[in-house]
Amino acid sequence: MGTHSGDHSSSHYVVGLFGDMPYGAAAKAQYPNLLVDLNAHNLAFSAYDGDLKAGGDGMCSNDLYARQLSAFNSLRAPLIWSPPFGLPVARLTRA
């Protein structure tokens, strides 16, 4: 097992897992609270699995990628992102 400095013993660590969000207006309004909650814990890292929006939530625009990059960058712990198949990841890294 890995270790992480902080309040945890050397025998375990805590990770944050989330993904496939935010979908719809209510989830978009609550998403910042999730990020605050992740930052409130002494996480070794977070992992985000999936896409960034639901099919009916509009286009995959540069603005969408810029907003999500900003959200990811607001996390204090390192983030591992497993994007869905076919997503143009280069768009996220250029934002």
Torsion of the alpha carbons at 8, 44, 20 and 69, rounded to the nearest 10: 140
pTM above 0.95, yes or no: no
Which tens digit of pLDDT belongs to each residue from 62-89?
Answer: 888 888 899 999 999 999 988 776 555 5
pLDDT-wise least confident of 7-11, 27-31, 54-58:
7-11
Report DSSP state, residue 46. Answer: E
Asked if 31 and 22 touch (Cβ cutoff 8 Å), the reply is yes
- From the number of C-beta atoms within 10 Å of its C-beta (0-12, 13-18, 19+), residue 64 rates as middle
